[in-house]
Amino acid sequence: KNEVEQSPQNLTAQEGEFITINCSYSVGISALHWLQQHPGGGIVSLFMLSSGKKKHGRLIATINIQEKHSSLHITASHPRDSAVYICAVVSGSARQLTFGSGTQLTVLP
Amino acid sequence: DVKVTQSSRYLVKRTGEKVFLECVQDMDHENMFWYRQDPGLGLRLIYFSYDVKMKEKGDIPEGYSVSREKKERFSLILESASTNQTSMYLCASRSNYGYTFGSGTRLTVV
């Protein structure tokens, strides 16, 4: 069983829809990253969370440490949000990243 | 703005060649990482370095080596490239505030 599980694997939405991507993990963590990867490969860190909730523009990330669960929400989705979204947890004394398998989001105009 | 720069976006190399993938960061970070990304397998750690001349094996170090002679530069070396090393390679560095990733190098070994 993977230490980090994301759902769904693929998500297609219409422009303007509210989107939720989920991440569950099984290990103790010190932080969790949400990453965005556009075609071509470059990865951008959207959020780093250790508790509670963060908001940046139309993106909202939440984490529940007790339930070992995090969600990434996109409000008023737009075709430019189409990308792979990856959850990654920071754990261990070396604070290494363990990645989820990613969610491919496609937002249709 | 902080940056992690990978020297090449796309590389095509022949089987048996020695390949160098370069990564440079301008943030004075001590910790640097090399990952590879494959469909269905996600991102996997190859090697990391926590200081100059220090290196640690990650989850899949076989067939790779690394070099960290200066703090800002972390090189991934494929001593004798093989077709199963065709992949996307990502470099990252880390501070107390989180990770910064490079844009990736897509390596094809033919």
Name the residue facing A33 among B90, B99, B106 (closest C-beta).
Answer: B99
Output the tens digit of pLDDT for each of chain A's 109 residues: 568 999 999 999 999 999 999 999 998 898 999 999 988 767 888 999 999 999 999 999 999 999 999 999 999 999 999 999 999 998 877 778 899 999 999 999 9
Backbone angles phi, psi at B58, to 5 degrees: -95, -145
B47 near B66, Cβ under 8 Å?
yes
Query: Do B42 and A100 make contact, defined as CB atoms within 8 angstroms?
Result: yes
- Set of chain A residues whose Cβ sits within 8 Å of the Cβ of B106: 41
Least Cα separation, residue A38 to chain B (angstroms): 10
Cis amide prior to A8 (ω within 30 degrees) = yes
Q: Helix (H, G, I), strand (E, B), or coil: what is residue A81? A: helix
Burial label for B32, CB within 10 Å (0-12, 13-18, 19+), is buried
Q: Which residues of A touch B92 (CB under 8 A)?
A: 97
Smallest Cβ–Cβ distance between A48 and the set B50, B98, B102 belongs to: B98
Interatomic CA distance for residues A69 and B9, integer angstroms: 34
pLDDT for residue A2: 67
Rounded to whole angstroms, the Cα distance separating A19 from A76 reads 8
Q: Show residues of chain B in contact with A31, CB under 8 Å.
A: 98
Which residues from A are below 8 Å from B99, CB to CB?
33, 45, 48, 88, 97
**Across residues B92-102, what is the average pLDDT?**
86
Instruction: Say what the pLDDT of residue A1 is.
Output: 54
pLDDT digits (tens, 9 = 90+) for B21-63: 999 999 888 999 999 999 888 899 999 999 999 999 999 999 9
